[in-house]
Every structure is written in structure tokens, then in C-alpha cells.
Chains A and B, each alone.
Chain A
Amino acid sequence: MQGAKILDERKDFIMFKDSCCGDGKINCEKESVSGAVSQRACVYCGARVVLNPITDAFHIVHGPIGCASYTWDIRGSLSSGSELYRNSFSTDLREEDIIFGGAKKLAAAIDEIVEKNSPKLIFVYATCIVGVIGDDVEAVCRKAEEKYKIRVIPVKAPGFSGTKSLGYKLACDAIMELILPHKDIPKTGGINIIGDFNLAGEMWIIKNYLNAIGLNTVSTITGDANYESLIKAPSAGLNIVQCAGSSVYLAKRMEEEMGIPFIKVSFFGIEDTTNSILRIAHAIGDENAIKRAEEFTKERSARAKEFISKYKPKLEGKKAAIYVGGGFKAISLIRQFNEMGIKTVMVGTQTGKKDEYEIIAKIVEKDTVVLDDANPSELEAFMKEKGADILVGGVKERPLAYKLGIAFCDHNHERKHALAGYEGVENFTKEVNLSLNSPVWGYVKG
């Protein structure tokens, strides 16, 4: 394929840094175009991935089986306690439910759960057709709350109502709904970690850092969270937001409605990790914490840099392509590749925001391609044109990269090693090296 064939409607979703819209204007935050082979997930998916790591909740999908089966234990969020969230609960709607309505079945499903277990928290996700057939999901949930004196929170997330970002917002609203009744509990001054889902245990890494500089974690939202820890969240003195794309909205609401200030952090890459730890210490304003943070980051970043330098000769000069969910993560990755001596030649995100694209435009080199909601042929064309050696992406991109003979690193839900923090830098470097320098590439016929 010569260059990329691009749908006319798609042109505004792509920019070249050195051409027309070099000022970082890109048409993001929109639905996919009809006919696109889009990689974009739906509102329900967005809501589910944010809430799913709440380990002791029953997550019931009210809808037909598909929506439930695809989200069954797919995210590598680890739990230190309950494994309940790793089961798939749904109402598996059938034809008669579509005709006569599914509200009764939902109520019965909740009954069947409560009969057998003693749940404290149930989330009910209403998917596309529930909106269309007009079940009053809210009423069913309200009644169940009254009947059983537990929290039953509806998440009305029909896929057609927007993009994954809207799903994130709905999830944040659901969390607010859960914690608001506890908003007047006394403040303890600890920290909530928001927007980390404990993939491959990353939440634990961040928690350890806070611990190391003498700060206390109150609540983790939502990685390795549970009902009891979540309702304590209002007692915190500071929110730190790791995945901005999904959770800044929640932090803002908590600031407005509970008076908890927040700062955005990122634990991807040495630079971001160090800055984040220092900024947290300063935000708390505790002299001792600041001192410990300085010592801690100095020691750990030196160690991580030394680690990278061992690999640098093997990595220097290679070219990377990035295709990830959020813009914030893309930014971290670009910086991280810089640290390794790898140049980023293509960046794409599924749900990147305008301001994020502006930052991206600033930190990439002149000829880097920036894409919003790309499809496989665009990814292919630009990766080839730019001569990328490695693609960082999610599960759908892996086979594509391999077919092209390009190395791959999973930076999505299916990552197997923690990629956050200084530990993450080591893991990421190892993984990038492993994939780039696997002997099998030697057998690929050009």
C-alpha cells in the first residue's frame, strides 16, 4: 500500500506535526465514522473497566449475553482480597424479555444474588437495548436497595450514547453515588489514589512509594478496592490522579463536593515517576515527607537509569509507534522512549483529549504522525512509512504488528508485568528489548 488511504471524514482525525495543523488541533472526542474498522470500545466498556476492579462488588450486566461475556475477567486487575469480581453475572436477556421488558428479570436476578450471598454492593450495567426497550433500571435498583438495605447502583451505559470516555464519566458518577452519603466523616489527611486499576499489581507499587515517604493511603479507586475502603475515601486530604483520562472528572467532583484537592500524577517512566512523588510530598506539605521523597527518588531514579543504560546500546536509534487508549499514557510513553534513546514516529490514541494532543504535539519530533481513533490500514500505512520497529498497543494491535514483522509491547489491560514506577521502567525496558531483539525476527522474509 502506498501511503495511507484515508477516508475523507477521517482526515480531521489525523495530523502531521509539520504540516497543516501543527498547532495540535485534531478532531478527537467524537464517535467513529460509519464503515470504519474502528478499534474504539463503547460506553459500557468504559464504565465497566473503571468499576470492575472493585473486588467485592457484584457486577451485573443487564443485557444480552455478549456484552457480559466479553467483559468477563478480561482486565488484569489484581486483588488482595475478594475474587468475586472475576465472575460474570448477567441477566442474559432472551427474546421474551425484549418483548415484555426485562425489569422483572433484573429484579429476580438481584434476588437470586442476595438469597445466596450477603452482598454489600451491586452495580447494574444497562447496555444498549435496555435503553431501547425502556426498562426502568433505576426503579429496580432503588427498590432493591430499600428491600435489602444494601447499595445497588445503576450504571446506564448504552454503547451508542457516546464513546468510552462517557463510560468513564458514568463510572465516576457511580462511585460518587456510593461515597457521597459518607462525605461528612472526619478528615484523616491521607491520600486517595485515583485512576489506577492495579493492573499487574501497579497500584501496590504506588502505594509502596507513598509508604516509603511516610504517607498514608486511604482509598484506592478502583484498583484492589472494596466496599469498606471506598466509603472511607471522603476522609482523605489529597487525591492523586493517575489515569487522567478516566478519572479527573471524579477528582473534580470530589474537590467540589468534598473539598479534597487533587493533583495529576503519572508513574510511567523515570521522569514522571520522580516528579509525581516529589509533587505529592509538596502537595501534602510535610517537611519530613519532602525530605524523604527527595532521597527516595534520587536513589531509585539513579538505579533505574543505570538499568536502562545497560540496555541502551541495543535500543538506541530504534523507532517506536504508540497506539493506546488515553492521551496521558501516550505522553508518558513518548517520554519513556526518549529515555531509552528510541524515537517515537507515530502516536495514536482512542480517547485522547484536546489538551493532551497539544502536549503530544510539543514533545514529539517534527515528522511524527499523530492519529485519533485509527483503523488497521492507517496504523499499517503509517508504521511502514515511518519505519517503526516496535508498536506499543493493546490486544487488537498485537497480531497486526506481528504480521508486519514489527515488535510489540502490550501496554493495555493485558499487560503481564507492572509497567508503573521504577519497577515498571525496568520491566518495560526488558519487554521492549525482548520483543525488539527476539531471534525470530531474523527469519522473517522482508
Chain B
Amino acid sequence: MLSMTPKELKERTALRINPCKTCQPVGAIYCALGVHKCMPHSHGSQGCVSFHRMFLTRHFKDPAIASTSSFTEGASVFGGRTNIETAVKNVFDIYDPDIIAVHTTCLSETIGDDINSFIQDMTIPEGKLVVHTNTPSYVGSHINGFYNMMCGFIKYLSRKTGKSNGKIAIFPGFVNPGDMREMKRIASLLKAPFIMFPDTSGVMDAPMTGHYEMYPKGGTKIEEIAALGDCEKVIALGEITSEEPAALLEKQCKVPYELLPLPIGISATDEFVTALSKFSKCEVPYELEEERGQLIDIMLDAHQYYYKKSVAIYGDPDTVLGITSLVLEMGMIPKYVITGTPKEDFTRKAEELFARYSVEGCKAKASADLFELHQWIKNEKVDLLIGGTHGKTIARAEDIPLVRAGFPIIDRYVHSYMPIVGYKGAMRLVEMISNALMDRMDRDCADEDLEIVM
């Protein structure tokens, strides 16, 4: 497998091989699914949305709904105005959501449809809403799509009434429902009244009930998105993913924000906890102190198995930065960290982390792909890979263990229900990492070296 990957590096300018990102609409749909009774709508050809839904379903193993304008040849020449008008009418008639969140596709962007004016002109049933965002996939990645959709909701819905609701807004970043649950648990422990936006918990990890709910219980309520404008403050998690919507809300409603890394690992979780506790003026409860202490205890117990081991981490920018920070805390060497998302900030932040922990010989790159990562590894091997499913071919070709974390994971189950954020999430990552390395030791060692006690 992947025997074609040559060791010798050569710069490519035109050819993308084995991407480490996907297109904006996937992020936009994921964001919109985190809003209660919302139908994500793709303004473009039917094919795109079919792909996007499948992509999300493969990761979450849960249905991901979205409707489409179904462009035809005609629409691709004359624009998609009638398509979206018919679509919005049909969607409200038959699927009855409270809100439709429209995003564009490459096609509707290229032909230059002005969605905003379409929305202004269409008849929308009483009490229902339509919002939109632009998600041209030839810019950025699914991460851009995710925050662009957040901005779309904020632009249309968030208002400052002048009366504070005393709450803190939490923007979770592009993470799993399991992570969002953990963030909410921590906020509740710190007695901070909050609005999480978006919130896919209870939607993309909805329980089996014996009947199909097109709109499961979870998701940020429309009133809550409106109320973001009256929040005291925003904690924007994921410096690359959450800054734009936070900055927009500040501009639009004067809500200040604090930009923090995703709370992956000890220090990033500490920052999150501190920010919440400062806000709620609630001392960090014993429950959290205890978890933190347990995490450190675990890290000390097992450290000899991962200390100074080298690792390659790939995936979405904030997730990769978060995991990088955790492995540095563990004393590992994050030899290669890459993201496919074209954000140079990523490289800078990764290098800052390298410097903070004084590790040498580590490389970070944005706009990279898995083919290039494979070539790096061929030149200098690592002990472990951390990332989504698509690294498994590299893992196999180079015989390196793989820990699955991030997006997309389409060849395993349960992951989207479990956190990698918070102290609990860090424990889970430490467990997965040490298990992977120790399983490998057990597999590779000579008979006489097989240890019962490790």
C-alpha cells in the first residue's frame, strides 16, 4: 500500500495528493446541525450535498440532514434564484424546520448568486427564519465553512437589547459532540451560566429511541443565538476556528471575547477553567481539582512509555495544536504537525509551542497534505501517528501505530461520543497513546522480554 510514495521530496505547486481537509460546506452543515430545529441547505447541485451528508454520516454514524437547491444546467447559466425560492418553500412545507441555514457551493459562488437579496425577496412563512453564509470551497477548508456559518447566524440573529442576560457564551470550535458535552459539564461545575453555540450534542450523538427524529432534542436554540448579543462575554475556543465569529459578535453587539486554545491537555484546560471561574466568581470545585490531580498522577505513572517518543499529528488546525500541546506536556516530541487548512497562523502557533517546550527538529506546516507528511516520515520516521482515518495507509506502509483523534474518523465507532477536551479528555488521550505504544512493545518484543507487569 502506498508503495508509490517516493522518499525524495519535490515541491508541488499544482497537484494535491491525499488531502488533509475538505470543503467549506461540510463545516457549514456541521455548524447548522448544531442549531435546534435547523435545516442546513446547500445552494448548488444535488451532488455536493449528497457527498457532504455522507461524509458527516461516516464520521458520526448518525444521520446528517441537509436539503439542496438542485441546480440544473439552466441554473448554472441563469443563476439559482428560482431554485432557492422553490427549495425554501418546499423545505418549510414538508420538513417543517424553524430555520433554514443556507450555504453556497463553489458553483453558486462562481455564477455569483446574491443569496442575501434572494432571501430578502422571498416569502418566508410566519415565525420561520432563513439565514445564509458564503462558503466558496476554493477558499479555505471545512474549518472556514464552520465559522462562516456561525457568522451567518450571528449576523442575522444576534442582537443587543441593552439588557445583559448575565451569561457567558462558549464557542466550542470544530469538535465532536462528546467534547461539547465535556465543555458544558465543566462550565456547569463552575456554576457559569452559559450559551454554547453551536452545540451538536444531542443531535449528532442522539440516542436510539425507536423512531427517527429529523430534529433531535439538542442544538442551540434560536432565542439563544439572538441572546448572544446580550451575553457578558464570549469564550472563543480554538484560536483559528472561533476568532472570526467572536470578533463579529464584538463588532455587532459589543460583547468582549477571550480567545483560548481548544482545552486539550493540562495547561489549555487550566486556561479554560480559569476563564470560567473568573467569570462566575466560583472557586474551582474539588471535583475538577481531583480530575486534574488524577490526570497528572496518570501521566507520571506511565511516562516512561511515551517520554521522548516522536509523533506526527495531522488534522484540523486547532485540534492539532491542542494535541501538540498535550504531547509536549507528556514529554513527547511532536516531530511533524500538519493541517490541510490554509492558515499560516497555524504554523506560527505550532512553532511557538515547540519553542515553549524547547524541542528541536520539529516541523509544522499548513496547507500540507498527507502525501507530503508520508514523505517526511519516509525520510525520518516517527514512533506514533495521531489523526483521523486517512493516515491509516501511512501507518500501515511504515508500520507505525495510529491513535485516532480528530476529524474525520470513518473507520471506528464511539469516538464522537467521547471527549478529548478537559482533564477527562486528556486522560483518554493519554490512555490511547500509551496503549498504542505499549501494544506495539508487546507485539514487537522477543518472547523472553514479554512483560506481564508494565
Contacts and interface: CB of A to CB of B under 8 A. Distances in A.
B365 interface: no
A87 B375 CA distance: 14
A87 B17 contact: yes
B310 interface: no
B106 A64 contact: yes
A131 B19 CA distance: 23
Contact of B63 (A89, A98, A113, A403): A403
B242 interface: no
A112 B22 contact: no
Interface stretch (A101-109, A181-189, A192-200, A207-215): A101-109
Contact of A160 (B24, B49, B72, B93): B72
Contacts of A83: 1-4
A91 B50 contact: no
Contact of B23 (A65, A398, A403): A65
A261 interface: no
Nearest to B397: A83
B76 A399 contact: no
Interface in B118-171: 136-139, 141
B209 interface: yes
Given A116-B10, A132-B107, A160-B75, A35 B208 contact: no
A66 B48 contact: yes
A72 to B, nearest CB: 7
Nearest to B211: A404
A94 interface: yes
Contacts of A93: 138
Interface in B68-127: 68-73, 75-76, 82-84, 86-91, 93-95, 105-107, 110-111
B1 A402 contact: no
A97 B137 CA distance: 12
Contacts of B66: 37
Given A97-B138, A396-B57, A404 B212 contact: yes
A90 B14 CA distance: 8
A73 B141 CA distance: 20
Given A45-B50, A399-B61, A38 B68 contact: yes
A2 to B, nearest CB: 13
A31 interface: yes
Nearest to A373: B46
Interface centre among A64, A90, A109 (most CB of B within 10 A): A64
B141 A65 contact: yes
Contacts of B62: 399, 403
B22 A34 contact: no
Contact of B54 (A87, A97, A132, A396): A396
Contacts of B214: 376-377
B25 interface: yes
A40 interface: yes
B200 to A, nearest CB: 14
B374 to A, nearest CB: 10
Interface string B427-445: 0000000000000000000
Interface string A46-68: 00000000000000100111111
Interface centre among B2, B50, B371 (most CB of A within 10 A): B50
B48 A159 contact: yes
A36 B66 CA distance: 9
A88 interface: yes
B300 interface: no
B15 A113 contact: yes
Interface residues of A, number: 80
B18 interface: yes
B87 A129 contact: no
Interface centre among A32, A106, A131 (most CB of B within 10 A): A32
Contacts of B106: 63-64, 66, 98, 128-129
A396 B51 contact: no
Interface in A374-411: 376-377, 380, 384, 395-396, 398-400, 402-405
B67 A72 contact: no
A69 B50 contact: no
A64 B46 contact: no
Given A64-B137, A400-B63, A90 B51 contact: no
A402 B208 contact: yes
Given A42-B50, A83-B1, A35 B23 contact: no
B70 A7 contact: no
B180 to A, nearest CB: 19
Given A108-B14, A159-B47, A399-B62, A66 B22 contact: yes
A5 interface: yes
Contact of B208 (A72, A106, A384, A444): A444
A39 B67 CA distance: 10
Interface string A131-145: 111000000000000
Contacts of B6: 116
Contact of A67 (B10, B51, B76): B51
B356 interface: no
A90 B19 contact: yes
Given A65-B23, A160-B76, A400-B212, A70 B61 contact: no
A38 B68 CA distance: 7
A204 interface: no
Given A42-B46, A376-B65, A35 B17 contact: no
B15 A89 contact: yes
A158 interface: yes
A127 B433 CA distance: 40
A140 to B, nearest CB: 12
Contacts of B52: 66, 70
A446 interface: yes
A324 B4 CA distance: 35
Contact of B93 (A7, A84, A112, A376): A7
Contact of A376 (B55, B110, B212): B212
A69 B25 CA distance: 13
B348 to A, nearest CB: 21
A387 B45 CA distance: 34
A121 interface: no
Contacts of A33: 70, 86, 90
Given A66-B26, A84-B4, A109-B15, A34 B47 contact: no
A7 B51 contact: no
B44 A128 contact: yes
12 contacts: A7-B94, A31-B72, A32-B46, A64-B138, A68-B16, A72-B390, A129-B110, A132-B76, A160-B107, A396-B50, A403-B209, A404-B212
Interface of A: 5-7, 9, 31-45, 60, 63-72, 83-84, 86-95, 97-98, 105-109, 111-113, 115-117, 128-129, 131-133, 158-161, 376-377, 380, 384, 395-396, 398-400, 402-405, 444-446
Interface of B: 1-4, 6, 10, 12-19, 21-26, 44-55, 57-58, 61-63, 65-73, 75-76, 82-84, 86-91, 93-95, 105-107, 110-111, 136-139, 141, 206, 208-214, 371, 390, 393
Q: Sorted from nearest, which 9 A-B pairs have the closest CB atoms?
A: A42-B47, A66-B23, A35-B90, A159-B47, A108-B14, A35-B87, A92-B16, A70-B51, A159-B45
Given A35-B68, A35-B87, A402-B208, 20 more contacts: A35-B69, A35-B70, A37-B68, A45-B47, A66-B23, A66-B52, A69-B23, A70-B52, A72-B18, A112-B12, A128-B44, A129-B138, A158-B76, A159-B47, A161-B73, A384-B211, A396-B57, A399-B62, A405-B211, A445-B210
